[in-house]
Structure 1
Amino acid sequence: MELEAIYKRVIGLDVHQAQVTACALIEQSDGTTRAEQRQFGAFKRDRRALAQWAAALSPDEVVMESTGIYWKSPYAALEAVGIHAKVVNARHVKNVPGRKTDVADAQWLAMLARAGLLRASFVPPARFRELRLVARQRQNLVGQLAAEKNRLHKVLTDSGVRLGVVVSNLHGQSARAMVRAIIAGQPPHEVLKYASRRLRASREDIFDALQGDLSASHLFVLNELLAHIEEIEARIARFDARLLEGLATEREALALLQTIPGVDQIGAAMLLVEIGTDMDVFGSADRLASWAGVCPGNNESAGKRKSGHMRRGNRYVRRLLCEFAHAASRTQCVFKSKFQALVIRRGYKRSIIAIGHKILRTIFFMLKRGEHYRDSATDYEALSVQRNAPRWIKALTKFGFIEPTRV
């Protein structure tokens, strides 16, 4: 039994680092099918030749595997000539082992595409793909920053300075000033002057925590670590500015996402460049969650439910959703109550993933409908009035808008 042809002109591309193998299946006027196979290199001139060859055939479908990052430059070359190729999951088009060659893989892709059996993966517009580079590098820098901060804490502890015991954040404004003073070689009673009065620890405890045995090597390493930390922080600030500048036209979507508990401006921007603003490409919230890899997998055979491990999905989106879930679980909202109900029986990590899943589904409907977040458990307007009413009344009375109450 042969596969029924839905498309008459298709091209399958087997993409590798150094070459691209192409197979075109063209249905002739007499009903026969002509196969044309070509091989192209991976350089710019080769990608341009590939795009020109594909455009000359006027294909109905062009498909390629999502092989690492190698598919991106051929995809952009095809996009430049008006061809929007389908990037498909390699697991969905796996050929029979023992019969695999580059030519056979390209032909197999073309056959499946001709029968309409392939579903394209989500590929954002070119503008968002470029901003993805900025957002993902920013995430890498944040990881480097956290690692360097931990190293600085470790070196301080190694020298006997227990500053981390008396401050909640070793890199807050007050603690950073004290670390700089320590590196400058100031004695503990001078370093103590930089301690904020808002610190909960007593002055005696802070003074005792500053006592240590810092050698010349300790001071050298601390100085280099602090310089590197400040350099990374400045670099992250530049990445933030570049990311927000690139999303200047998406202010409405950014504002919508920031109404969700736990989502700040940078988090909203980094999520937008990953999932885009057009939710019609996913079709449903279930498909979006499956693509991101934050929902259980389906694995059933002979009526038996097997392991439901999550798929890998988009690790950048999953990381952002976990950050949002951590923050939302500490605010007054429906996500907090859901987290508290789950964590008892499912554990902390699974509960965080479940809250991230719920947040992503909420984001889908918000972007699709263009509506801001409305919490089903908390009236934020009433909460704001409750917190600020005394201050508002005092100000209105001061400027004569209402009469002062008399007892």
Structure 2
Amino acid sequence: MLEDASIKLSSVAWSVTTVSARVMLRAMIGGERDARVLAEMAKGKMRSKIPDLAQALEGHFDDHHARMAAAILDRLELVERALADLDEAIRFQCLPWAHEIELLQTITGVGEKVAQVIVAETGADMSRFGSAARLAAWAGVAPGVYESAGKRTPTGKRHGNKWLTAMLVEAPGSVARMRGRNYLAAQHARLTKRRGAGRAQIAVAHPILVVAYHMLSRDEPYRDLGADWLARRNDEAHTRRLVAQLERLGHTVQLDPVA
């Protein structure tokens, strides 16, 4: 509808439903048409884009567009109020597991909704699964393996609990925006380069669920391994391989760290 009125708000604001965008839309609905005045209504970080906003808000937004925009915004706000009521109802039902949900939110990328779904689908009782590997297989985030004649072949992810899998795959999305500043973000970046973003989402969902299993089993918060953990582990393994090769050649190896 805004495009029809030549209003290019979506080219400047990441969403036309942000606080700043809604303030401008409500002003336009109320009769304000001066693009510069509308742009000055921007809030927070959007104020740095005022010149671009002033250009984007130049158009032919008339009374018909105002009626349409008002109807759309009213419906949107009605849905948002309903969602807020449902969120509150879910939060109330989750009160018996408030501690577990708070604990899970210490995991990088896991917010309240993801934590609620983990608790809802697993019951927060990890003893029923026996191991983190069984939990991951049950959820459908463990890599599948086809075995025939003693040969094991990867087959992608397994089928599992679709509700839990869907939410676990959402978590790596927020992890990716952290640009490798922690273990999960570094793993996501590494896998994205090798296998693409889609497969990286599934691959990172697996360690998130494994971490959740151990945290709930031990009642401990998340402790990040650090963005360089994979590199350090590979260096240590490489060192062990080189030492083993030298020892097989009959040498005694003593490692002294560099000062």
CA RMSD of aligned residues (A): 2.1
Q: Does 1:167 align with 2:16?
A: no
- Worse-superposed segment, 247-256 or 358-367: 247-256
Instruction: Describe the shift of the 1:308–1:217 C-alpha distance in structure 2 as closer, same or farther (beyond 3 A).
Output: farther
Q: Equivalents in 2 of 1:236, 1:224: separation in Å? A: 19
Q: Does 1:347 align with 2:196?
A: yes
Q: Which runs of 5+ in 1 are unaligned?
A: 1-154, 379-407
Q: Equivalents in 2 of 1:304, 1:197: separation in Å? A: 58
Partner of residue 186 from structure 1, selected from 21, 32, 36: 32
The structure number with the bigger radius of gyration is 1
2:176–2:185 CA contact under 8 A, matched in 1: yes
Q: How does 1:283-302 map to 2 (within 5 A)?
A: 283-302=130-149
2:118–2:124 CA contact under 8 A, matched in 1: no
Q: Equivalents in 2 of 1:318, 1:365: separation in Å? A: 18
Q: Shift of the alpha carbon at 1:199?
A: 1.9
Q: Equivalents in 2 of 1:360, 1:197: separation in Å? A: 36
Question: Which has the bigger relative contact order, CA under 8 A and spacing at least 6?
Answer: 2
Q: Equivalents in 2 of 1:277, 1:197: separation in Å? A: 39
Give the SS at the match of 1:355.
helix
Q: How does 1:65-144 map to 2 (within 5 A)?
A: none
AA in 2 matched with 1:335: L
AA in 2 matched with 1:368: S
Q: Equivalents in 1 of 2:109, 2:16: separation in Å? A: 23
Q: Shift of the alpha carbon at 1:361?
A: 0.6
Q: Does 1:265 align with 2:112?
A: yes
Which residue in the other structure is 1:79 paired with?
none
- Worse-superposed segment, 302-311 or 229-238: 302-311
Partner of residue 184 from structure 2, selected from 323, 328, 335: 335
More strand by share: 1
Q: Shift of the alpha carbon at 1:238?
A: 0.9
Which residue in the other structure is 1:156 paired with?
2
Partner of residue 55 from structure 2, selected from 195, 205, 208: 208
Q: Equivalents in 2 of 1:299, 1:260: separation in Å? A: 31
Q: Which runs of 5+ in 2 are unaligned?
A: 228-259
AA in 2 matched with 1:364: Y
Which residue in the other structure is 2:240 paired with?
none
Task: State the identity %.
Answer: 35
TM-score (norm 1): 0.51
Instruction: Describe the shift of the 1:352–1:197 C-alpha distance in structure 2 as closer, same or farther (beyond 3 A).
Output: closer
AA in 2 matched with 1:264: G
Q: Does 1:365 align with 2:214?
A: yes
- 1:142-183 per-residue CA deviation (whole Å, 9 max, x = no partner) reads xxxxxxxxxxxxx22232111112223322211111122223
AA in 2 matched with 1:276: G
More helix by share: 2
